[in-house]
């Protein structure tokens, strides 16, 4: 049993918990909680830790036990469930996200809220999205809060993180692959219900406070894409980024059901 915060393995867990740089360099991250640990693919599970007071049945595999006090200090939550795992980051290729006419992508630019990111992953899975593309300035998908908020979708939805300033090249590549591009924008010229989403499509969602960058909107136009708006009644100025993403993805899913591409 590990009982000291000065133990090298405990220090490593805390570094993975707190530091994006360490997670990126080592290609590892922490998943905490009973449900999320159960979702970890076996081939990606590197280390498994339990609190000494964990009451449920433990698996028949190698694991380490932490004292209750140490586990609480390592945990990222106020009331720990007593189990966490060190997980290998799964690397996807852009080709893993493209599924011909069934392609439906979510392209996220500078999303900062962990809850929004997690909600978009869960909704993307539910709506039949084939993958998510993120700019490098989005909140770290491997931070404990984001991993937890995805409720396991991070292990099931393919995603790619772009290199710095990689949005332009990404949109150009999507156009070459026959994927139609739609940018969510308050001043969009096209109501979101008008386009035909039956073919491959990608929905761009921008930062919670500022939306998509002007440069990105310009690239969308250059690549033959459309800026779409979600009509709103009353005095509401804007919708939550995750809500906007859900509306667009489910409109595409609705149209595809009419074309025989039904959700399961």
pLDDT digits (tens, 9 = 90+) for 10-61: 999 999 999 999 999 999 999 999 999 999 999 999 999 999 998 787 777 8
**Residues 99, 227: one domain?**
yes
pLDDT by residue (tens digit) across 189-247? Answer: 999 999 999 999 999 999 999 999 999 999 999 999 999 999 999 998 889 999 999 99
What is the predicted pLDDT for the residue at 264? 57
Looking at the 3D structure of the chain, how many domains does it have? 2
**Residues 98, 202: one domain?**
yes
With a pLDDT cut of 90, the percent of the chain lying above it is 91
In Å, what is the CA distance from 222 to each residue of 18, 182, 201, 203, 227?
40, 12, 16, 16, 12
Q: Which of 72, 88, 104 is the last residue of a domain?
A: 88
Alpha-carbon gap, residue 241 to 153, rounded angstroms: 18
pTM reported for the whole predicted model: 0.93
CB 82 within 8 A of CB 51: yes
Evaluate whether residue 173 is within a structural domain. yes
pLDDT by residue (tens digit) across 68-122? Answer: 999 999 999 999 999 999 999 999 999 999 999 999 999 999 999 999 999 999 9
**Residues 71, 98: one domain?**
no
Evaluate whether residue 45 is within a structural domain. yes
**Residues 36, 144: one domain?**
no
Label the pairing between strands 159-161 and 180-184. unpaired
């Amino acid at each position: 049993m590990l009982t000291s915060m000065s133990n090298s393995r405990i220090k490593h867990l805390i570094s993975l918990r707190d530091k994006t740089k360490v997670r990126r360099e080592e290609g590892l991250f922490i998943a905490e909680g009973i449900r999320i640990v159960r979702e970890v693919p076996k081939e990606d599970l590197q280390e498994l830790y339990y609190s000494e007071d964990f009451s449920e049945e433990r698996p028949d595999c190698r694991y380490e036990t932490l004292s209750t006090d140490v586990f609480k200090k390592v945990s990222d939550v106020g009331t720990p469930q007593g189990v966490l795992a060190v997980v290998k980051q799964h690397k996807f290729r852009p080709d893993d996200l493209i599924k011909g006419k069934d392609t439906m992508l979510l392209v996220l630019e500078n999303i900062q809220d962990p809850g929004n990111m997690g909600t978009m992953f869960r909704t993307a899975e539910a709506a039949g999205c084939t993958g998510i593309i993120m700019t490098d300035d989005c909140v770290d998908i491997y931070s404990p809060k984001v991993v937890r908020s995805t409720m396991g979708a991070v292990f099931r939805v393919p995603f790619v993180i772009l290199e710095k300033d990689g949005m332009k090249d990404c949109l150009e590549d999507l156009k070459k692959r026959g994927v139609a591009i739609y940018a969510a924008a308050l001043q969009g010229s096209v109501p979101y219900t008008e386009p035909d989403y039956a073919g491959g499509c990608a929905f761009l969602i921008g930062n919670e406070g500022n939306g998509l960058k002007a440069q990105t909107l310009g690239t969308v136009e250059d690549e033959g894409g459309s800026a779409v708006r979600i009509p709103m009644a009353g005095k509401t100025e804007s919708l939550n980024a995750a809500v906007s993403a859900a509306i667009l993805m489910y409109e595409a899913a609705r149209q595809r059901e009419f074309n025989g591409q039904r959700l399961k």
